[in-house]
Amino acid sequence: MRGSTGQGATEYLVLLAVVLIIGLVSIALLGFFPGISGGVSEAESQAYWGGIARPIRVNGAFSRYGGNICGIAGGTSGYIINIENIDVDSIVLTGVYVNNTLSSGVCVPGSPYASSLRLGSSEKATIYVREYYCSAGETVSLPLGFRYDSQYLPSRVENGTKRYVFKCDPQPFS
């Protein structure tokens, strides 16, 4: 009778070890090979940046090239990003991070580059981030972030936990 109890306990421990090893291997594969776990879809990105992200909501983006963009003549390309301040207080946008690189300034198309852009509560703006371009039909997946000052906290950064994903439809400036 003793032998069967010991044998059962040994079998249980071996089975438990096998299950733990399979679990660890699965977790390791998903962690080391991000393609297996899948990227952020356009729908997930739109849901995050259009509703969950705070205080700056992104309502759309596209690529522009050529022409006079924010006082920079010809040959310039970049992303046009439609944003909205959804905070109850005003904020001052002082920079945009695209691909983990801080833009050199903030620009509303038709205006020169400025060091900042004030957005009142629920105010929308279209901003330009230069020197980025995509090809027609390409899916763009950007790590995106915003640096801003609020009434109570200066130098805040909103780094999105999801990339901003959109289909590229480059449009020329006229």
Q: Tell me how far apart the alpha carbons of residues 125 and 81 are, in angstroms, rounded to a whole number.
A: 8
Please tell me the distance from the alpha carbon of residue 112 to that of residue 153, in angstroms, as a whole number.
Answer: 27
pLDDT tens digits, one per residue of 55-86: 999 998 888 776 666 766 655 678 889 999 99
Q: Using CA atoms, how far apart are residues 62 and 127, in angstroms rounded to an integer?
A: 11
List the structure tokens of 165.
């994903």
Distance CA 114, CA 94 (A): 9
> In this model, does residue 110 exceed pLDDT 80?
no
pLDDT tens digits along 10-35: 888 888 899 888 888 877 776 555 44
pTM of the shown model: 0.72
**Residue (of 102, 112, 109) closest to 148 by Cα position:** 102
Residue of higher predicted confidence among 137 and 48: 48
